[in-house]
Amino acid sequence: CSPFSKLQKNGTDDEKYKGAVQYYKKGDWYRAGILFEELIPVLKGSTESEMAQFYYAYTQYHQQQYLLSATLFKKFYETFARSDYAQESMYMYALSLYKDTPSFNLDQSNTLTATAALQDFINAYPGSQYRDDCTKMILDLRRKLERKAYEKAVLYYKTSGFNIASYKSSVIAINNFQREFPDSEYNEELAYLKFDAQYSLAKNSLETKQKERYQEAIGYYQAFVDKYPSSKFLKQAEKMYETSQKEIERLDKLEKEKQQPKPDPNRPAKVTAANE
Amino acid sequence: VGRDDATTSTSSTELSDYANPKEYEITGLTVTGTRYLDPNSLVSLSGLKVGDKIRIPGEAVGSSIRKLMDSGLLDNVELFATNVNGDKIALSFRVQERPRLYRVNFLGVKKGEQDQLKDKVKLNLGKIITNTVTKNTQMAVRKFFVDKGFLNTKVKITTVPDSTRNNATMRVLVDKGQKVKIRKITFDGRSEVEEAKVRMKMKGTKEMRFGRLFTPSKFVPKKYEEDKQKLIEFYNKLGYRDATIEEDTVINNGGKTIDIVLRINEGRKYYYRNIDFSGNYLYTDARLREVLGVNKGDVYDPEDLEKKMNGNPGQDLSSLYMDDGYLYYNAQPVEKAIEGDSIDLEIRIFEGKQATINRIVLNGNTKTSDHVVMRSIRTLPGQKFSKTNLIRTQRELATLGYFDPEKIGINPVPQNDGTVDIEYSVEEKPSDQIELSGGWGGYVGFVGTLGLTFNNFSARNIPNFSAWRPLPAGDGQRVSLRFQASGKQYQVYSLSFTEPWLGGRKPNALSVGVNHTVYRSYSFTDLYSRSTRGAVPIGSYSNTSFSIGLARQLKVPDDYFSLSHSLSYQRYDLNNLDIFYIGYRNGISNNITFNTTLSRNSIDNPQFPRSGSSFSLSGSFTPPWSAFRSVETSTPEDKYKLVEYHKWMFDASWFQTVFGKLVLNARAHMGFLGSYNKRTQIGPFERFVLGGSGLAGQGQFALAQDIIGLRGYDDRSVYTADYDRATDATSRAQGGVAYNKFVAELRYPVSLNPSATIFVLGFLEAGNNWGSYKQFNPFDLKRSAGFGARIFMPAFGLIGIDYGYGFDRIPGIKDRPSGQFHFTIGQQFR
């Protein structure tokens, strides 16, 4: 029989508590966790109850049971709102949630919850020593959302070979990205990609829609060049820009040729429509 | 019932002076009358405490009694003052406990009915028996029998208390009486519609008749009400818009039978006269009328109209708008004028604004990566909102197999700027499969199977341990590993991998597979003799194969089509074993094939399809080796060194909901094997073997064959050629060169829960297998019929049992029709 199981089986509550604290201090989270879990219902109403719950939450945190530790820390600062450890507990709640956030390519509901918890902490304790950490974490979570939105836009661009309509989706997704994350590092690449997507869309369009789409692409190019005059994508972009201009010229010429021959007396409406 | 504060006893005059409530301090609180409950906990339940100051009479007294009664533990509570001394008072509750239910006895009821009743009535043992419980039980039991046609059921309930504990046994005495049958149903006032048809609509209420087996005559009030409703709907459907049941009488003929008299007012039959549209600016009336497909002079049928307006995605009136971005579209048919038998209909349309999709939001993918789901979504930003595309997306997400198909949520969220965001929500379900069976048997050693299939694998995450949950998952790749053994005698090792979007740009699926099989033949004397240490094999056979394939989703003729190509190499190694019966015992055969498959699949749900179809046409070709060598002179060893054939397979399967949840599945399968060179026979490889469950089965080294099931016949038995008169040994031993099989199956889902999808089925099947094209006759088929069940559990895949009855004789095997059971594991495609 190991001393641990002896303690677990035969120890008095007091011995168990002391033992648990010792295990905790040694960093034996597993054993400390088991003892605290057993003690918490027994200690209800006693003086040790507060610390037991606080330590128990930590044992779970250290065992990477972040979802559980988040719940425990939350319960702690709600129950012992006037405790000395309330602040730390609230921070640990937010931190646990932060640690539990999934990779960017999965459902981000937890990321949003964690961001809110971190923000709540900053609001509750503006002068806290953990404030900077929280700010950093919020930024980090935001970067996750940013990456998600970026990948989505790129995915539309990437899969456009399967469905040409995805070029347009890519442009729209990039527009949304630019609005939501104006300071993102991805913006340079996306500005280029937006032009590329619009250019590719124009290139693969029916002749009737090409001119308008090339013109729009040129608009995106200009916005890109103005903002990133020394971009590494500039060289590729320039080529497409030139082609776009040439294409517009060609389409203009084609339009004129179509107009010039006999104006069909029977269907004048059509011709005017083409003029517009 | 003693709920009121019965502040009786000695000091009653003092206490019950309602005009002068007085404040007292409680000096004592006691509880009397408890038998099993703890008095202290009752005191704490009452909300009163010693030392409290309360007004008597007053709110506190009443509320303490109420709190105790609300606990549901007590039948009666009274409050007394036991001692009053100035402004001090001692109070006492006198309580009467309620018995708890210990056992339920049903009397006058069959054993099977008892079990059903216990489920229905939901009496939890240990529950406190209140009047409500008794009454509800009585009603539920009565309803149970009334619903079975025992209209005159009488139920009596008595509670018998237990003397030792606070328990009671509930005795439910049932007198079912006679089952009430319907002697006659009379339809008065019916003239326009045939009586038989009207009668047929009363599906749950039938006249008694000798030999009515499936829907016995009984009178169930609930069904009767439904049937009356159905009757009216039936009339409405025929254009009798005003049809009503004016009066219905149920006449009791002395308890055993009843008569029903229904007086129907049919009204007249109505027809459409003018159909007008209003509010339509985008489409002309003529165009809308064409899409709607209702014409002047048609019978007026509101149900059909509703279907043509909303019920058929892609083809109904709403799709005209809803598939072109008109998210806010709404149309109401209004009967504008009714003259004689004609109805003028105005369809009021609200077109609204066109909405363009802006964002696609995906929630709930806690395991599967965004890109795997996003690439299956058919609604794209920048496109016009389309209902048809939403429904298609739902199908695509269900087909992935990673999400619970019954819980795919689609929610279009209109924005202020004329765009719409579409939110999809999914719920992950386990998609991996494990097959594990095994044992240690006598002389053979380990016997068993270990199979693992990961349908949502992520090869990219293999080095990234933090992403293992418990394996790298989420990229939609498929890895399948399998090991099967019957000791030393027979072993199979296989591994396959599929990436559905190679390169991530287009749905080009790459699959790679490796397989190795070994079979060793032992002499039986060696096997059983204990003296020989380890049996000595007398011969062995191995088959090693490798294949690589690329499948592409097509866009023409439509995007349900896909085209795949694969290249495979198989090597058969014979070592003193004539397993193919082709005249050589030692040698190597190499089989190199190129396969092309064109397929279309629009099945709505992979586990329990209700609609859609799939078909596939495939051709496999070996190089025409015989063009480069002389066929006549070569020995079997030489001839089969390089295997040569071409093979064609066709499979079609079609699903249709017939009625309610019942689904019809019709299938046709055929395969043909041929040789390039007229002078060579069709070789022994890749022939068809028909019959039984269609499982390759353990120990059946059906490696160079195509095994196809035919229920109702023995495994691998169906073969037309007369066994004894088969002209050449090759074809006799190896199977047919052409097979046909046709199946009609009716399926009914028992449970659609994704953790265990269960359905039952009945089938008719016919198929045959021919040894040569001279014998081939698609009308000469071996027929069978039967029934079975399937259960799909995510961890185990599909497991099935069928009972099939074969009607035809199989030469050499089957003399007369007989039936048998078949077990299947895994999805059977043919």
Comparing CA positions, the residue from B531, B578, B778, B744 lying closest to residue B658 is: B744
**B375 contacts on A by Cβ (under 8 Å):** 155, 159, 162
User: Strands, DSSP E only, in B508-621?
Assistant: 508-522, 537-553, 561-575, 586-601, 612-621
pLDDT score, position B9: 38
Residues from A contacting B (CB-CB < 8 Å) are 102-103, 105-107, 109, 148, 151-152, 155-156, 158-159, 161-163, 165-166, 168-169, 171-173, 176
Task: Label residue A270 by pLDDT band (50, 70, 90).
Answer: very low
Average pLDDT over residues A124-132: 93
pLDDT higher than 60, residue B528: no
- Among chain A residues, the shortest Cα distance to B428 is held by A107
pLDDT higher than 80, residue B161: no
CB of B752 within 8 A of CB of B725? no
pLDDT score, position B66: 84
- Distance between CA B449 and CA B726 in Å, rounded? 37
- Distance between CA B803 and CA B78 in Å, rounded? 68
pLDDT score, position B766: 95
Residues from B contacting A (CB-CB < 8 Å) are 358-360, 362-371, 374-375, 380-383, 467, 474, 504-507, 553
Residue type, B71: S
**B369 contacts on A by Cβ (under 8 Å):** 105-106
Sign of CA dihedral B518, B524, B530, B533: negative
Task: Label residue B486 by pLDDT band (50, 70, 90).
Answer: confident
Torsion on CA atoms A13, A18, A19, A24, rounded to nearest 10: 130
Q: Identify the helix (H) or strand (E) that includes residue B106.
A: strand B100-107
Q: What residues contact residue B61 under an 8 Å CB cut-off, 6+ apart?
A: B5, B7, B54, B79
β-bridge mates for residue A15, sequence order: none
Q: Which of B357, B376, B380 to mutate to test the interface with A (most CBs of A within 10 A)?
A: B380
- Closest CB from B359, B364, B506 relative to A107: B364
- Among chain B residues, the shortest Cα distance to A108 is held by B363
Average pLDDT over residues B158-186: 81
Place of tokens 């389309």: B386
Residue type, A193: L
The backbone torsions φ and ψ at residue B449, rounded to the nearest 5 degrees and listed phi first, read: -135, 140
The backbone torsions φ and ψ at residue B146, rounded to the nearest 5 degrees and listed phi first, read: -60, -40
pLDDT score, position B143: 87
More confident residue, B622 or B486: B622
pLDDT score, position B620: 95
* SS3 state at B783: strand
**B757-770 and B409-414 strand pairing:** unpaired
Place of tokens 């866009």: B555
- Distance between CA B68 and CA B61 in Å, rounded? 11
Average pLDDT over residues B520-526: 67
- Closest CB from B358, B366, B382 relative to A102: B366
- Closest CB from A107, A152, A158 relative to B366: A107
Q: Is A84 exposed, middle or buried (0-12, 13-18, 19+ CB in 10 A)?
A: exposed
DSSP states of A232-276 as a string?
TTHHHHHHHHHHHHHHHHHHHHHHHHHHSSPPPSS-HHHHHHHH-
Number of Cβ atoms within 10 Å of the Cβ of B48: 20
Structure tokens at A184: 């993102």
**B458 contacts on A by Cβ (under 8 Å):** none
**B504 contacts on A by Cβ (under 8 Å):** 158-159
Q: What is the pLDDT of residues A228-249, one digit of tens each?
A: 999 999 999 999 999 999 999 9
pLDDT score, position B422: 94
- Closest CB from B362, B381, B504 relative to A169: B381
pLDDT higher than 50, residue B725: no
pLDDT score, position B87: 84
- Among chain A residues, the shortest Cα distance to B380 is held by A169
| Nearest-CA distance A134 → chain B (Å) | 23
| Nearest-CA distance A154 → chain B (Å) | 10
- Distance between CA B611 and CA B663 in Å, rounded? 8
The backbone torsions φ and ψ at residue B38, rounded to the nearest 5 degrees and listed phi first, read: -85, 120
More confident residue, B554 or A69: A69
Q: Do A158 and B504 touch (CB under 8 A)?
A: yes
What HEC string does B381-411 produce?
CCCECCHHHHHHHHHHHHHHCCECHHHCEEE
CB of B331 within 8 A of CB of B309? yes
- Distance between CA B342 and CA B335 in Å, rounded? 10
| Nearest-CA distance B45 → chain A (Å) | 20
- Among chain B residues, the shortest Cα distance to A64 is held by B466
- Among chain A residues, the shortest Cα distance to B365 is held by A107
- Among chain A residues, the shortest Cα distance to B427 is held by A107
Q: What is the pLDDT of residues A40-66, one digit of tens each?
A: 877 765 677 788 999 999 999 999 999
- Among chain B residues, the shortest Cα distance to A177 is held by B359
β-bridge mates for residue B613, sequence order: B654
H helical segments located in B365-499: 370-374, 387-400
More confident residue, B594 or B715: B594
Q: Which of A100, A101, A104, A105 to mutate to test the interface with B (most CBs of B within 10 A)?
A: A105
- Distance between CA A155 and CA A275 in Å, rounded? 37
Provide the CB-side half-sphere exposure for B231 (13 A, CA).
29
Q: Do A105 and B366 touch (CB under 8 A)?
A: no
pLDDT score, position B525: 59
* SS3 state at B11: coil
Q: What is the pLDDT of residues B396-452, one digit of tens each?
A: 999 888 998 888 999 999 998 889 999 999 999 888 888 777 777 656 667 788 888
Structure tokens at A238: 């320039």
**B687-690 and B705-708 strand pairing:** parallel
- Closest CB from B363, B375, B380 relative to A107: B363
pLDDT higher than 80, residue B114: yes
Q: Which of A66, A67, A103 to mutate to test the interface with B (most CBs of B within 10 A)?
A: A103
| Nearest-CA distance B354 → chain A (Å) | 17
pLDDT score, position B634: 67
Average model confidence (pLDDT) across chain B: 83
pLDDT score, position B697: 52
CB of B269 within 8 A of CB of B341? yes
Structure tokens at B43: 């005191």
Task: Label residue A263 by pLDDT band (50, 70, 90).
Answer: low
pLDDT score, position A125: 93
**B506 contacts on A by Cβ (under 8 Å):** 159, 161-162
Q: Which of A172, A176, A178 to mutate to test the interface with B (most CBs of B within 10 A)?
A: A172
CB of B202 within 8 A of CB of B220? no
pLDDT score, position B581: 63
Q: Do A105 and B359 touch (CB under 8 A)?
A: no
| Measured CA distances, B238 to B191, B346, B486 (Å) | 13, 20, 66
**A103 contacts on B by Cβ (under 8 Å):** 467
Task: Label residue B55 by pLDDT band (50, 70, 90).
Answer: confident
**B167-175 and B244-253 strand pairing:** unpaired
Q: Edge-to-edge strand order for the sheet containing B271-278? A: B271-278, B342-350, B330-339
**B356-363 and B419-425 strand pairing:** parallel
Q: Do B366 and A172 touch (CB under 8 A)?
A: no
| Nearest-CA distance A159 → chain B (Å) | 5
Residues in chain A: 276
Min mean pLDDT across A232-246, B187-201, B690-704 is at B690-704
pLDDT higher than 80, residue A1: no
pLDDT score, position B436: 79
pLDDT score, position B805: 93
CB of B265 within 8 A of CB of B282? no
Q: Is B427 exposed, middle or buried (0-12, 13-18, 19+ CB in 10 A)?
A: middle
Task: Label residue B653 by pLDDT band (50, 70, 90).
Answer: very high
pLDDT score, position B532: 47
pLDDT higher than 80, residue B627: yes
β-bridge mates for residue B339, sequence order: B342
- Closest CB from A151, A163, A172 relative to B381: A172
Average pLDDT over residues A118-144: 94
Structure tokens at A270: 């059509």
CB of B277 within 8 A of CB of B288? yes
CB of B323 within 8 A of CB of B388? yes
- Closest CB from A107, A156, A176 relative to B365: A107
pLDDT higher than 60, residue B102: yes
Q: What residues contact residue B342 under an 8 Å CB cut-off, 6+ apart?
A: B270, B271, B272, B273
Q: What is the pLDDT of residues A78-118, one digit of tens each?
A: 877 778 899 999 999 999 999 999 999 999 999 999 999 99
More confident residue, B52 or A64: A64
Comparing CA positions, the residue from A188, A162, A191, A206 lying closest to residue B380 is: A162
pLDDT score, position B2: 39
pLDDT higher than 50, residue B492: yes
| Nearest-CA distance B327 → chain A (Å) | 19
Q: Edge-to-edge strand order for the sheet containing B74-85? A: B53-56, B22-32, B88-97, B74-85
- Interior angle at CA B280, CA B279 and CA B285, nearest 5: 120
CB of B789 within 8 A of CB of B761? yes
pLDDT score, position A61: 95
CB of B348 within 8 A of CB of B278? yes
| Nearest-CA distance A108 → chain B (Å) | 8
Structure tokens at B266: 């049919």
More confident residue, B774 or B385: B385
Comparing CA positions, the residue from B730, B762, B757, B734 lying closest to residue B746 is: B762
Q: Do A159 and B375 touch (CB under 8 A)?
A: yes
Structure tokens at B351: 């077109």
